[in-house]
Amino acid sequence: MNQISGGHGLQELTISDDYGQMYSMKEIAISEFKAKCLALIADVQKTRQPLRITRRGEPIAELIPPTPENDSDWLGSMKGRMEILGDIISPAADPDEWEVLRD
């Protein structure tokens, strides 16, 4: 992670995640965030880029865009995409072959 040193204002960070992807994140002091909160939230929503908030140079919070809402519920999402082949109720092996049933 690279951090641009300097005074107040937005600073740009370049971050590498665990999967090797590089992305940038802006960093801002909490005092400036407090003064520009609504505009910064709107910017995160518009650009979909997260914002790190710091106090005395130490990260204290990150403002991230919301995850997209999924219109379809996961229950039933595979309906009509699968086909059952064969008997799914009977045991896969003959009960005479089950070791647990042997005396």
Asked if residue 72 belongs to a domain, the reply is no
If one counts the domains in the chain, the total is: 1
Q: What are phi and psi of 5, to 5 degrees?
A: -85, 155
Reading the block at residue 5, the tokens are 């040193």
Assess if residue 12 is contained within a domain: yes
* Residue 92 is assigned to a structural domain of this protein: no
Q: Does residue 26 fall inside a structural domain?
A: yes
The answer, as to whether pTM is greater than 0.75, is: no
- Residue 74 counted as domain residue: no
End-to-end CA distance of the chain: 65
Paired sense of beta strands 22-29 and 11-16, if any: antiparallel
Domain that holds residue 43: 2-62
Answer yes or no: is 95 within a domain: no
Q: What pLDDT, in 10s, does the model give residues 46-73?
A: 988 899 999 999 999 999 998 877 666 6
